[in-house]
Amino acid sequence: MGGAIMVTMPGFWLVQKRKTPLFHDVFHLPTRTDFDARLVVGAATFGIGWGLGGFCPGPALTSLLLAASGTLFFVPAMLVGIVIAKYTAAPLPKTLAV
């Protein structure tokens, strides 16, 4: 985690010094600062899945090429979970959708 922070921090510092992004007119930053049940449940589900599976979704996809048995079980289960969430989660109100 420390290595990631050391690599990312200078980039964030440089970006915050700019008035506009390189390839767009304005920065699109989140404006909401509140917590709602959907955010808390989503974060908890992600954390529990990561803890139980031992994989974060991004590295799990890149680990498929290693054909490790854990990855071969985790990734299909993750994809099934994504599909289930897509069809069972309540849609965001139009005012909150990005």
* The pLDDT of residue 53: 81
Q: Say yes or no to pLDDT of 30 above 80.
A: no
Question: What's the pTM?
Answer: 0.55
**DSSP output for 8-73:** HHHHHHHHHH-SS-TTSSS----------HHHHHHHHHHHHHHHHH---HHHHHHGGGGT-HHHHH
Q: Phi and psi dihedrals of 32, rounded to 5?
A: -80, 140
pLDDT single digits (tens) 66-90: 888 888 888 998 899 889 888 887 7
Q: Phi and psi dihedrals of 11, rounded to 5?
A: -65, -45
